[in-house]
Amino acid sequence: MYGHFGNQVFHWIHYGFAFFCLYIGIPRLVFDLPSDRKVERTFAFAIRAVMWMIVLAYILIITKLFEMLALLAILLVFSLRKSLFSPDNTRRGDSVFAIGKFFYNWADGQASLKTSGMRRLLAFRDKLINFKVSFSIKALEYGLLTVVLVISGYIRLYDVVRNPSPAMSDAYVTMAWMKYADERLLFVDGIYPQGYYYVLDYLHKFAAIDSLYVLRFTGPVTNILIVFCLYFIVSRLSANRLAGIAAAAMLGLFGDLLGGGWDRQAASLSQEFGFLIVLPTLFFFYRWMVEKKEADFRTGVVGAAAVGLVHAIGFGFLWLGGGALAVAELFLRPKPGMKRFLKWFFAGTISGVIAILPAVIGLVVGKHFHANSLNFTFEESLVVRPPIRIIDWIALFSAALLLVSSLRGSFEKRFADLFISVFGFGIFILYEFVGWITQKDMISARSPDLWAIMIPLLCGMAIARMLGWIGSFRYNQFCFAGIFSLVLIAGTIVHPPKPIFPDKLESDEGLNQYLRIDQSFTPKSWTIVYSFREGNNMVRGSGYYMYVGPKIGDFDAPTYFLGVYDPTKPGLTRYGEKKVDTRIGQDVFIFYEKHVYKNEALLQLKTEVGKAKEYKTRETDMVELKKWLELYERSNGKIEVYYDGPTLTVYHIHIIEKSKPVNE
């Protein structure tokens, strides 16, 4: 069901429309920005939109107003702000009366909707007729970029469009926190940056699709955009599109050779979303320091604050880059002046204050910090210094080459080279030595992700400088593009692109049946009985969840099935009661697992010692559930089989009496 072509097209259209509205369309109505190149303007609008929507979500959740109607009303007010509440009377008058003028002209027969529409359509047709596509280096380069992005998308999206089970163990926590936002609940599991989960919930509200689709789609889309950001930054800083394409290809096509968590490229994680904001934010800070445009500085500050609201590691990554910018300016422009220093101080202070403000609010209302994240931050273990690989030596050589390149040329070129070189050396030291010296698990586990992004930046900039040193002649760009195309083809032959199939907590079969039930039955009229512990996060907001077995250890489900319901009585009747339980949905689906899905990779981790016991418990529960089902059928007749597959059978019990929700 999930992977059917029509189903995917339907949900991608909804998702794409929501994404376009939230981060491309609406920001253009809400924010005023000076004219700029299209990509830069799009990034600037998107950064402002992310920041604005996260802050708005916090406010509306605290005030219990986080609803679609409230969002639409606020968006309408802010969209009209530039015209209706502008101090410029001429602009306001033009905006207000233009519509009225057309209406009265139309009423008098002096204007026609058809004529106006045809005029615009003919103008657009003339543009298309006059547009001639010629074979140029620019077209060839954009063609290469398209190929890189398409293959990058194939690698990251293949599993996403075929299989519903979310990637990695964090997926169900992400799903739960997104749904807590939808229910206007703040820091249910403890204080942790919620920005990314609010972004997901905005997409969920505007797309009007199951949150599982939003979760599955957003992770790969984020990582494909990171690949594009590498192209964007390198091509802008080096003024060489081929170098930008090379940087994008390194992460997009060959990222599994760079280190870091390759599975994360197909997963929906807040850290990677933070990285997506970091890269263009650093570009705007760089351009502000070179061109001294105040709009770039404001965009940089907004981006820095947004990263702080999304992920702490992303925030640290950003300010390592900010430190590299400051060092580059200190060496190339030793006397920047007090005004520039105060602006840097302001940027750091305001973004830091905004980043920690939600935590302060959480502490004031009596919340505690998220325990697992807090433990991970300070946890220590035996960390071994990572070996220096060939790709690391290439990146270090690139950083050294950029350092040499920064000695000559225009200020803009020298500044870009020194910035990326210092940034690269800093991230390498963090990756290679800091985790080893401090023995901190968080640094040793997350610094490879930073270094995996830094390697393409360094190599892309170095390629640009080497191409510049070769010299220019009439057809050199075509030669370079041709050579790059051959290298790209050879690389994909030697190291063929392979889709990412990340670790998953649960089988696709179970998730497919959840989606089938969710789309076939009225919301909150059904209950799933499942041994999958994260099932409660999965069905939250759509239906209700019961854990199969009795309460064990510290796991606390909303309700339990075995030991609660008597199989000798009709419907679903609790032990000691005579009437059917009216606290559960009218349709109950019992998931009997013929073979309990086991994540073998998790079983090998020392941090997941409880997984083996959990799987054993689930297998025991299935034996008991089988006995319960057999006794129920002997006492009450055959149970409807809703689905019967290779590893899973779903039984359906329809309760005749009017039911009340299980959690009410």
Q: How many whole angstroms separate alpha carbon 173 and alpha carbon 170? A: 5
pLDDT digits (tens, 9 = 90+) for 242-278: 999 999 999 999 999 998 889 999 999 999 999 999 9
* Helix, strand, or coil (residue 557): coil
Contact 304, 321 (CB under 8 A): no
CB neighbour list of residue 522: distance below 8 Å, 6 or more residues apart: none
Q: What is the dihedral of CA 478, 479, 485, 491, to 10 degrees?
A: -160
Higher pLDDT pick, 170 / 111: 170
Strand stretches in 40-182, DSSP E = none
Q: How many whole angstroms separate alpha carbon 44 and alpha carbon 299? A: 6
Which tokens is 192 given? 């942790």
Residue 394 confidence (pLDDT) above 50:
yes
- φ, ψ (nearest 5 deg) of residue 545: -130, 135
pLDDT of residue 2: 86
What's the average model confidence in pLDDT over 86-107?
52
Q: How many whole angstroms separate alpha carbon 196 and alpha carbon 311? A: 8
Contact 358, 58 (CB under 8 A): yes
- pLDDT band at 82; cut points 50, 70, 90: low
Closest to 657 measured CA to CA, from 570, 567, 564: 570
Angle at which helix 211-238 crosses helix 5-20, to 10 degrees, equals: 60
**Which amino acid type is present at position 162?**
R
Q: What rounded mean pLDDT belongs to the chain?
A: 87
Which tokens is 402 given? 């950029």
Q: How many whole angstroms separate alpha carbon 195 and alpha carbon 316? A: 16
How far is CA 93 from its chain centroid? 41
pLDDT of residue 107: 61
Residue 640 per-residue DSSP state: E
How far is CA 461 from its chain centroid? 27
* Helix, strand, or coil (residue 67): coil
pLDDT digits (tens, 9 = 90+) for 548-593: 976 655 555 568 889 889 999 988 899 988 888 878 888 999 999 9
What's the average model confidence in pLDDT over 287-306?
93
Contact 295, 33 (CB under 8 A): yes
Closest to 194 measured CA to CA, from 302, 60, 289: 60
pLDDT digits (tens, 9 = 90+) for 199-215: 999 999 999 999 999 99
Radius of gyration of the chain (CA): 28
Neighbours of 302 (CB within 10 A): 24
Q: How many whole angstroms separate alpha carbon 382 and alpha carbon 438? A: 10
Helix, strand, coil share (%) of the chain residues, nearest 5: 65, 5, 30
pLDDT of residue 533: 84
Please report, for the chain, the start and end positions of each structural domain, with discontinuous segments joined by +.
5-72+134-373+389-494, 86-130, 508-654
pLDDT of residue 664: 42
pLDDT digits (tens, 9 = 90+) for 126-155: 655 554 444 577 788 899 999 999 999 999
Higher pLDDT pick, 164 / 168: 164
What is each CA distance from 476 to 61, 79, 163, 488, 489, in whole angstroms? 57, 48, 45, 18, 20
Higher pLDDT pick, 325 / 36: 325
pLDDT digits (tens, 9 = 90+) for 511-533: 999 999 999 998 888 999 999 88
Burial class (CB in 10 A: 0-12, 13-18, 19+), 409: middle
- pLDDT band at 659; cut points 50, 70, 90: very low
pLDDT of residue 551: 60
- φ, ψ (nearest 5 deg) of residue 516: -65, -45
pLDDT of residue 634: 93
Residue 432 per-residue DSSP state: I
pLDDT of residue 223: 96
Q: What is the dihedral of CA 319, 325, 328, 334, to 10 degrees?
A: -100
- pLDDT band at 336; cut points 50, 70, 90: low
Residue 113 confidence (pLDDT) above 70:
no
Closest to 1 measured CA to CA, from 213, 303, 155: 213
How are strands ordered across the β-sheet holding 640-644? 544-547, 526-530, 587-593, 648-654, 640-644
Contact 309, 54 (CB under 8 A): yes
- pLDDT band at 661; cut points 50, 70, 90: very low
pLDDT digits (tens, 9 = 90+) for 186-200: 999 999 999 999 999
Burial class (CB in 10 A: 0-12, 13-18, 19+), 173: middle
H/E element, 54? helix 38-62
Distance between terminal CA atoms of the chain? 31
- φ, ψ (nearest 5 deg) of residue 659: -110, 160
pLDDT of residue 481: 81
pLDDT of residue 469: 82
CB neighbour list of residue 619: distance below 8 Å, 6 or more residues apart: 596
H/E element, 194? none
Q: Looking at the whole model, is its pTM more than 0.85?
A: yes
pLDDT of residue 224: 97
What's the average model confidence in pLDDT over 154-160?
95
Closest to 250 measured CA to CA, from 577, 447, 242: 242
What's the average model confidence in pLDDT over 493-505?
91
pLDDT of residue 315: 95
